[in-house]
Every structure is written in structure tokens, then in C-alpha cells.
């Protein structure tokens, strides 16, 4: 069988001769490379492995895409069940989590659907990576784990569906991108808005020049306006049975166990595990801004950002923010938390009109823009279901609608703005060298120190 991979090569944007060019280049069939466990923490805890039986509903299951799931909290279980377990082209063979109870509960859901007990249970993701019979992974562990897990999974030859963002630093995202391309991996990041018709239509209007030349893009994403759910004591407490606290902390700084550090969504608000909503949630809309206008990622910019930081319980991440990115041609990207002052979503403003899109709706001025049928050259990759698009991409050995570059590059917009807010001064991003220019302190913040001996592959 002959496999091919489609690469997107986008030209200018924002109404400036936008077009969509797809070329095909060969991609070798996926290979499995055994992971070198000696680069990790010595011997890992053994997983409780169920018998390797094919699911009862999977007649002819050797033709199905096999999957392991790392991280089975509420979001992980939702995607696993709705996106993959119920897909007749997929067989979920294993789940992995540092919390034993929820791992076993997730395996029980899989087994109940398949009507057998074949789903294996693992405590340590490294044991899962050694399974040659597992083709793909879904990674929904906390953000601070994404860089380590995804780069080593790529080294092990696993295709991946990885939740956003791609780590907790620019370096994490760049390392994942490079590992995915180096090992010829199919990678879908969880920027599922790309699989929504309204978002695609808004971006096609921009790229097709229907707004005229775009000079301003306004983006707003939810800020963490809620109080932490955990309101107990903040000191260290005994680690409960069934939790591998050392493995939960992983590459983050070691701290005494406290349940507030595992509470969801509280860990979104803790710097050790997440860069905050400015990246974690905001990356959704930043990605749509860049899908409509790739210039945001292809050229240098200077960003100023003001923000206030939390100091409540264990939480310490950025709370609200206002950022302005300025580009050499005068284009501006304005980014804030919702209603501070921009309306949630993405608004492209051009010489001949504007279009605003969010998860609820799409509107435009003139309203006739909503009835435009974009030209063939303005049309973008169409996906109606993010998880199914990933599986189809694995089968065809091609890039999905949200390949690794999208998560990496949209993350850069969020991370660099957060650095500017933390330093309280403008920073300049150089797209050619992928670093911050003329500011050694700011450039050093593009990476985080990892706790020994965890490393990126």
C-alpha cells in the first residue's frame, strides 16, 4: 500500500492574496521504536495488565486502530468514550493514570462497552509505551506532563491525540513538534474548534479576502473567574492510598502532597502544572486567529501585556490580562480575558467588513458575509469531528485538521504574552529563530527547569 502525507503550505493572509496550497509528499509507514527506559526514573511500577484479548465487538479487529489512554480524569474519560471507544474503527486496549481508583473505573467503562475485561490498567505511562500492539495514544494528563509524555511517545513510534496546550513552555511545544516530525508521527492536538463549521467559515472569509485587508484581530478567552474548589488546609498531608504522588508531580517541582494540587479545575490555576488560562484556554481562540491569518505566526511581533496574578490558596497563575501584539506591516492582535474589553471569541476586522465567531454563534458586518460561498482556493481543511478526523488521518498517514504545528505556534502567542505580563515590559518575538530577541531574561523564560531525572526526548 502506498501512503502519503499532505502538508499545508499557506501563503499570505488577511486578505493579502490568501490561498490554500496542498502538496503531497511520501510518509513512511509508522514504525515502533522501543523506548529506552534507562533515560527515566529507574524501574517503573508494574501495571496491572489484563489479558490481551481483542474486544468482543471488534470482529476483524486486527484492522482496527488500537489505542492506549494516558490520563483518565473527567476530560480524558469524555474524549475516550465519545471520541474513541464508541468508534467501530478503534479498539482501546489500555488506560493509565497515577490515581488507581479512577484508572480502574475508566477501564471498567471500556470493558462494559466492549463486553469483556480486556482493557489493561497501568500506573506508569512508560509501561504503556512498551506495548507494540498499541498503535496510538490519547494524552489527557495535566499540562506539565505533555512535553515529556509526547516526545517519548513519538520516540516509541506512537501516533497521538494530545490535549492542548503542548506543555507549559515554548520549549515543550517546540520539542513535541520536532519529535513528531523526526519520527513521522501522526499528531492531532485538541484544538477542536477547527472541526467546527463556523470557525472554518470565518477563517475562509479572511483568507479569501472577503473582508478586504485585515488590520486588527480581537481575541478574548475566559479568564479563571471562579474561586478554587479546594478550601481545606494548605500544608502537606499524607498521600492517600492508590495515588502515586511522585509520578503526578513528575517534571514539576516537588512539593508535599495536598489535595488542592489535584483538584480540578484548581490545578489550572497553579503555575507548577499549567501556564494559566491565558494559554490553557486562550490557545483555542488564538489558534483560530492564526488559522485565519497565518501572518501572526510567520512574522516577528512585539507584545505588551498587563495582567493580575492570583494569590488565593495554592493558586498563583495569571488571572486577567490585556495584550497587544504589533507586526511590521501594522497588523495588530488584541487579546484579553472575556469582556476586558473584548467580546469572547475572535473578531477579524478588515477594510470591507468584519466577522466575529465563538462557540455559540457567528456574526458579521455586512451580514451578507455569512452567506458567502468561499472560492475553492480559500477553502480550508474540512473536519466535522475532531476524534474521527484523527483516526482517519492515522489510516491515511496524513496530517489531521490540527497538526502539531498548530498547537505549538498558537501556544507561542499565549506563552510570550504571559512572559511580557510577568516581566511588566514589552518583549519581541523573532519568528525566524523562534526566540525572544534582545532580552536574555525573557528568553530564558521560554523553557522551564525539569525535576531530575525527567527530560524531553
* pLDDT tens string 425-444: 999 999 999 999 999 999 99
pLDDT at 202 > cutoff 70:
yes
User: What are the grid coordinates assigned to 228, written together?
Assistant: 478554587
Q: What pLDDT, on the 0 to 100 scale, is given for residue 404?
A: 98
Mean pLDDT of the chain: 88
Q: What pLDDT, on the 0 to 100 scale, is given for residue 453?
A: 93
Residue 113's alpha-carbon distances to 118, 344, 395, in angstroms, are 11, 38, 23
Q: Which residue carries 472554518 as its cell?
A: 200
Share above pLDDT 70 across residues of the chain, in percent, rounded to a whole number = 86
The residue among 388 and 59 whose pLDDT is bigger is: 388
Whether residue 251 is preceded by a cis peptide bond, meaning omega within 30 degrees of 0, is no
Is residue 148 classed as helix, strand or coil in its secondary structure? helix
Residue 399's alpha-carbon distances to 11, 34, 148, in angstroms, are 18, 24, 22
CATH pick for 194-227+272-376+403-438 out of 3.40.50.300, 3.40.640.10, 2.40.50.140, 3.30.360.10: 3.30.360.10
Q: Are 88 and 55 in contact (CB under 8 A)?
A: no
Whether residue 366 is preceded by a cis peptide bond, meaning omega within 30 degrees of 0, is yes
Q: What pLDDT, on the 0 to 100 scale, is given for residue 38?
A: 33
Q: What pLDDT, on the 0 to 100 scale, is given for residue 225?
A: 79
Residue 20 banded pLDDT, cuts 50, 70, 90? very low
Q: What pLDDT, on the 0 to 100 scale, is given for residue 397?
A: 97
Q: Are 414 and 212 in contact (CB under 8 A)?
A: no
Which regions of 114-261 does DSSP assign to beta strands (E)? 120-122, 136-139, 159-162, 187-189, 214-221
Q: What pLDDT, on the 0 to 100 scale, is given for residue 31?
A: 37
pLDDT at 168 > cutoff 70:
yes
Q: Are 289 and 217 in contact (CB under 8 A)?
A: yes
Share above pLDDT 90 across residues of the chain, in percent, rounded to a whole number = 84
Distance CA 125, CA 142 (A): 13
Q: Where are the domains of the chain?
A: 194-227+272-376+403-438
Residue 62 banded pLDDT, cuts 50, 70, 90? low
Q: Which residue carries 504503556 as its cell?
A: 128
| pLDDT one-digit tens code per residue, 222-243 | 998 788 899 999 999 999 999 9
Q: Are 347 and 355 in contact (CB under 8 A)?
A: yes
pLDDT, average across residues 4-16? 35
pTM (two decimals): 0.87
Nearest one of 29, 60, 67, 35 to 390, comparing CA atoms: 67
Q: Among positive and negative, which fits the CA dihedral 193, 195, 201, 204?
A: positive
pLDDT at 4 > cutoff 50:
no
| pLDDT one-digit tens code per residue, 334-354 | 999 999 999 999 999 999 999
Q: Among positive and negative, which fits the CA dihedral 394, 399, 400, 404?
A: positive
pLDDT, average across residues 351-379? 97
pLDDT at 10 > cutoff 70:
no
User: What are the grid coordinates assigned to 137, written together?
Assistant: 495514544
C-alpha atoms less than 13 angstroms from C-alpha of 159 in its C-beta half-sphere: 26
Whether residue 265 is preceded by a cis peptide bond, meaning omega within 30 degrees of 0, is yes
The residue among 48 and 373 whose pLDDT is bigger is: 373
pLDDT at 402 > cutoff 80:
yes
pLDDT at 41 > cutoff 90:
no
pLDDT at 409 > cutoff 90:
yes
The residue among 362 and 24 whose pLDDT is bigger is: 362
User: In this structure, what are the phi and psi dihedrals at residue 71, rounded to the nearest 5 degrees?
Assistant: 100, 100
Is residue 168 classed as helix, strand or coil in its secondary structure? coil
Nearest one of 390, 235, 177, 420 to 321, comparing CA atoms: 420
Q: What pLDDT, on the 0 to 100 scale, is given for residue 107?
A: 98
Query: What's 377-442 look like in SS3?
Result: HHCCCCCCCHHHHHHHHHHHCCCCCCCHHHHHHHHHHHHHHHHHHHHCCCEEEECCCCEEECCHHH
| pLDDT one-digit tens code per residue, 286-330 | 999 999 999 999 999 999 999 999 999 999 999 999 999 999 999
DSSP assignment string, 41-60: SSSPPPPBPPP----TT-TT
pLDDT at 384 > cutoff 60:
yes
Amino acid at each position: 500500500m502506498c501512503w502519503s502525507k499532505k502538508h499545508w503550505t499557506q501563503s499570505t493572509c488577511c486578505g493579502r492574496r490568501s490561498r490554500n496550497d496542498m502538496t503531497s509528499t511520501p510518509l513512511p509507514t509508522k514504525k515502533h521504536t522501543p523506548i529506552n527506559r534507562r533515560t527515566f526514573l529507574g524501574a517503573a511500577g508494574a501495571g496491572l495488565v489484563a489479558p490481551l484479548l481483542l474486544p468482543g465487538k471488534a470482529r476483524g479487529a486486527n484492522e482496527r486502530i488500537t489505542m492506549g489512554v494516558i490520563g483518565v480524569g473527567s476530560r480524558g474519560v469524555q474524549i475516550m468514550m465519545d471520541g474513541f471507544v464508541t468508534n467501530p474503527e478503534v479498539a482501546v486496549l489500555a488506560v493509565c493514570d497515577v490515581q488507581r481508583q479512577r484508572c480502574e473505573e475508566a477501564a471498567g467503562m471500556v470493558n462494559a462497552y466492549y463486553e469483556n475485561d480486556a482493557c489493561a490498567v497501568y500506573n506508569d505511562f512508560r509501561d504503556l509505551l512498551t506495548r507494540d500492539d498499541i498503535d496510538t495514544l490519547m494524552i489527557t494528563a495535566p499540562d506539565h506532563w505533555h512535553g515529556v509524555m509526547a516526545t517519548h511517545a513519538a520516540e516509541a513510534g506512537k501516533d497521538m491525540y494530545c490535549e492542548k496546550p503542548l506543555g507549559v513552555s515554548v520549549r515543550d511545544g517546540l520539542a513535541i513538534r520536532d519529535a513528531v516530525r523526526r519520527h513521522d508521527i501522526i499528531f492531532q492536538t485538541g484544538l477542536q474548534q477547527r472541526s467546527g463549521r463556523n470557525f472554518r467559515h470565518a477563517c475562509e472569509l479572511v483568507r479569501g479576502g472577503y473582508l478586504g485587508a485585515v488590520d486588527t484581530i480581537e481575541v478574548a478567552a475566559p479568564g479563571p473567574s471562579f474561586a478554587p474548589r479546594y478550601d481545606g488546609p494548605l500544608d502537606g498531608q499524607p498521600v492517600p492510598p492508590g495515588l502515586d504522588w511522585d509520578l503526578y508531580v513528575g517534571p514539576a517541582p516537588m512539593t508535599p502532597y495536598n489535595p488542592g494540587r489535584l483538584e480540578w479545575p484548581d490545578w489550572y490555576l497553579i503555575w507548577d502544572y499549567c501556564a494559566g488560562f491565558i494559554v490553557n484556554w486562550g490557545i483555542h481562540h488564538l489558534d483560530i486567529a492564526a488559522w485565519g491569518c497565518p501572518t501572526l505566526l510567520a512574522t516577528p511581533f512585539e507584545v505588551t501585556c498587563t495582567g493580575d496574578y492570583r494569590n488565593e490558596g495554592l493558586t498563583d497563575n495569571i488571572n486577567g490580562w490585556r495584550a497587544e501584539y504589533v507586526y511590521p506591516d501594522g497588523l495588530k492582535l488584541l487579546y484579553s480575558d472575556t469582556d476586558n474589553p473584548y467580546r469572547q471569541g475572535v473578531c477579524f476586522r478588515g477594510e470591507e467588513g468584519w466577522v466575529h465567531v465563538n462557540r455559540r454563534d457567528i456574526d458579521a458586518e455586512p451580514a451578507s458575509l455569512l452567506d458567502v460561498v468561499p472560492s475553492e482556493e480559500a477553502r480550508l481543511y474540512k473536519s466535522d469531528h475532531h476524534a474521527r478526523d484523527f483516526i482517519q488521518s492515522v489510516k491515511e498517514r496524513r496530517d489531521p485538521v490540527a497538526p502539531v504545528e498548530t498547537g505549538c505556534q498558537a501556544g507561542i502567542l499565549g506563552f510570550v504574552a504571559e512572559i511580557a505580563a510577568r516581566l511588566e515590559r514589552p518583549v519581541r518575538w523573532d519568528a525566524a529563530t523562534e526566540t525572544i530577541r534582545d532580552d536574555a531574561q525573557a528568553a530564558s523564560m521560554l523553557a522551564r527547569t525539569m525535576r531530575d531525572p525527567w527530560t524531553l526526548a
